[in-house]
Structure 1
């Protein structure tokens, strides 16, 4: 956490007020410093990040909140937005994206303004293989045809479809296709 704070402190236009490792200190620091943006790193706080973000918004309504999490799903982003979070950044996004996110949040822009960058890549939260299974599903391919095309076993195709369904909060693989198409991921 201190390393991230040191890196951010080197960025022009970014001032790090404090770096804390527990939710009580975090809330106290936000209350005392009244920052423009609070960065919540889910890894370093024992409280659920969305719960903490909601507490920040209650105590400092003018403070924008950015969450850094490992693998944000659409459902997580929706919960975070409902709690007042402006931007959710995957930890894999890199420092440049994090800085841009902090600046966007400071300007009052929401997660939707940067969502394509935070979806995990061109396939959103889906792996390349999960996206392949959904593309083939969309084309009407049977599981047997998918096996031949992707050189994967029936069980692996089923597992990839299940993972895509779960990541997209879909009811079935056809619903997952619809969701992924609507978001431009396949």
Structure 2
């Protein structure tokens, strides 16, 4: 009689209702066990260090550090831990950043619990999964001229947040934020950061 190895999962999402629902649904799977949950990027890192999960399911946008930043850190600190992103913000630029950070799967939050469980198993087995529609959008968007940090700061500026707030959320100085915003606008040929955000979003780079 063969036994299936249990896959240890860490869930990180700042929306408590979504995280709780995912945990409850995954608990119905015999071979999956949620060993920890986190609501912020730093908390996700701390929980991963403490529990050494097999697969970390990360929301893309979280307080403290986004999912790609967490995945980048885990790739170095816990190389045997595989990461995947589940997001409601599946733009081509996000996908490319995630893949560059070693993320093994990138899926929209519209997937069913059964699909998500299957993708977790796929990732644990060493394979990759990218939502086909997101992959097609990424190919058509072309390569972004923005660096990872420029794209991150530009996205934080998308809702009109002041430089001071962007600096705090990105853990950067206000001068550095201004430099990134200026560089992004210059690369995109935009007259200001608001136009840069619009252009970058139209092209799927943020």
TM range (shorter): 0.5 to 0.7
Structure 1 unmatched ranges of 5 or more = 127-161, 170-186
Separation of aligned partners in 2, 1:109 and 1:86: 7
List per-residue Cα deviations over 1:122-148 (Å, max 9, x = no partner): xx559xxxxxxxxxxxxxxxxxxxxxx
| 2:124 is aligned with 1:87 | no
| 2:127 is aligned with 1:109 | yes
How many Å apart are 1:3 and its aligned residue? Answer: 2.1
User: Per residue, is there more helix in 1 or in 2?
Assistant: 1
Aligned to 2:53, what secondary structure does the other structure show? coil
Aligned to 2:32, what secondary structure does the other structure show? coil
Contact 2:41 2:62 in 1 (8 A): no
CA RMSD of aligned residues (A): 2.6
| 2:73 is aligned with 1:55 | yes
Aligned match for 1:76, one of 85, 94, 103:
94
Contact 1:5 1:16 in 2 (8 A): yes
List per-residue Cα deviations over 1:70-129 (Å, max 9, x = no partner): 132232211101101000110112212211111111011123xx442xx269xx559xxx
Aligned match for 1:11, one of 22, 29, 37:
29
Alignment of 1:37-56 (within 5 A): 37-56=55-74
TM-score by length of 1: 0.59
| 2:39 is aligned with 1:2 | no
Separation of aligned partners in 1, 2:45 and 2:87: 19
List per-residue Cα deviations over 1:31-61 (Å, max 9, x = no partner): 1211110111235544221111111212111
Contact 1:66 1:101 in 2 (8 A): no
Structure 2 unmatched ranges of 5 or more = 1-18, 139-198
Which structure has the bigger radius of gyration? 1
TM-score by length of 2: 0.54
Separation of aligned partners in 2, 1:83 and 1:68: 15
